[in-house]
Amino acid sequence: TNQKFWTEDINGQWTAGSVFLYESGNDPDQILHFARFPVILLALLFGFLLFKWVRGKYGNKTALLTLFFFAFSPTFLAHSRYVTTDLGAAFGFFIGIAAFVKFLEIIAGIAFGIAELLKFSLVLLGPLYIIYGLLWAFLSQFEGQKKFFSKKEKFFIFLKYYAKILIKTIIIFLIGAAIIYFVYAFHIYNYPQEKQMSDTAHTLNSFSVKPLADLVVKMAGISILRPFAEYLLGILMVIQRAGGGNTAYFLGEVSAAGSHYYFPVAYALKETLAFHILTLIAFVIGLKAILKSKNKSLYNFFEWLRENFALTAGIIFIVIYLTQSIASPLNIGVRHILPIFPFIYLLVSRRIVLWTNNSELELSANGFWGSLKFAYYKYIKTIPRFLIVFICVLWIFLNGLITFPYYLSYYNELYGGTKNGYKYITDSNYDWGQDLKRLKFFTEKNNVQEIYLDYFGGGSPRYYFGEKFKPWNAEKGIPPTGSYFAVSATFQQESTAKPVKGFVKNEEKTYFWLKNKEPIARAGTSIFIYKLSLLQAKCLFKDTAVEPNFTKEIRDFNCRINLGLPSKLKFIF
């Protein structure tokens, strides 16, 4: 606590974490190992509550199928073992929505408060609750309006029920706010008020909505409001972070502006192909059921929404959350839309179960022939449906076993599988620094004495490799011939990708010399390993006795000539 990251830095948490793990005599592997257990336990609790909630709404079959999709999702399997907030965000949205749908004020209020403590993006639950409350008030009173002929009576009935829902929603918000307040009061207990104000002002100095930033700074100066000021600071920091975008590789291009196609494409690539097939079947049969319905009235539509309010709430959440994510320029991973996954699993499971049960069957079982006909349509005709579902479920199950332990890097078969996923999208979709220790195992197995490394991740190469580690980046050019060079997929793809309009990239500061070159090995899936003596055979002068004395510019120039790339002769002359 006497170091600069604690006493002076405003956002010194990265330095603090690095020092704590790798520079304080601790065992980082043991710390990380045990730190993952609470996340694993949270994932187990998530699965249990998801199953229990769905079973209470739609029965055992739908609940089991939903739980199966959850348990064998490569994305959930990946993020259920990392010390991050992504699983917590998905859990928070689930318990918040599930509790609110039941309209139990105390439970929903507690769920809301817990959700807000898990991740700042869960502030979205506030507007969702208002939408759900208004919609439920309308749907629950829609049928009763037939009994009233006076517009005045209808108005007052609606008004009364809306007031009731509003009071319940306010109670939920108040309970949640109380939980937030007491947790943050403990959080800032030893935080000097003057320091909180100055830190808040500095952090929000560039926030786009100046009056809002000033309000939070003022709240930090009022003792009783300090806990809420710290909470709101986190929310504004998230808004500020999302608005700033992020340099990302996406489908052969690199940009900081984001793409509206990013999350739909990432979901299509990262979810299992078998689940996509079941989703398509569910969508088609659902659409077919709507078109074949004999009662296509507005009243029946509202009646369905009311009777299936859990599904309705899920659909609304998926649409709003996905729309907000698509509009954001912050494109760093499919994990950011993880909260919508459980609700998609529920929607697909519900429709698939109805399909295999032949729910559209309207035959009677009267008489001998009637019973035979009923049995045929109920059991024999559904065999192909069960077979399709069985194959898809088995496919997902085997896929989960085969993918182990590379769930973070998983890409489905339609796009070349996990091995080729880095060609489409990187960052936390493929490469999050998870293979650093596997690179260490490679160096030990192959007796590598020195490795040049450009690493993307939160681990410490210096801790694991010691003096073997030679930090590198694209600006330094080509490492010496004969050396081992390793680079994370994210940095390699961002360096060699085509910049989009408006994104400036200096070609001289890229890994142009790695284009079309195959690595000699990979550490896990995400770190590519090259042996420079092999790589440079076609790229550098044959006289290896003098080559090490060449300057970086001469080596780069000669490499570019041999690769047929543009060069600058001033490097030679």
Give the Cα separation of 440 and 464 in Å (integer): 7
* Mean pLDDT for the stretch of residues 351-358: 90
Mean pLDDT of 531-558: 50
Strand partners for 531: 484
The tokens of 1 are what?
């606590």
The rounded distance, in Å, linking the Cα atoms of 53 and 47 is 10
pLDDT category of residue 256 using cuts at 50, 70 and 90: confident
Number of H-type helices and E-type strands within the chain: 24, 8
Q: What is the mean pLDDT of residues 146-174?
A: 78
- Coil, helix or strand at residue 529: strand
Q: How confident is the model at residue 212 (pLDDT cuts 50, 70, 90)?
A: very high
> pLDDT-based confidence at 149, cuts 50/70/90?
low
pLDDT of residue 572: 35
Q: Nearest to residue 259, comparing CAs of 271, 245, 270?
A: 245
The answer to whether 525 touches 409, Cβ cutoff 8 Å, is: yes
Question: What pLDDT score does 67 carry?
Answer: 98
Question: What is the pLDDT, as a whole number, of residue 526?
Answer: 96
Q: How confident is the model at residue 70 (pLDDT cuts 50, 70, 90)?
A: very high
pLDDT band for 333, please (50, 70, 90 cuts). very high
Q: Cα angle vertex 518, ends 417, 427, to 5°?
A: 50
CA distance 482 to 494: 25
Q: pLDDT tier at 496 (50, 70, 90 boundaries)?
A: confident
Both tokens assigned to 189: 């207990």
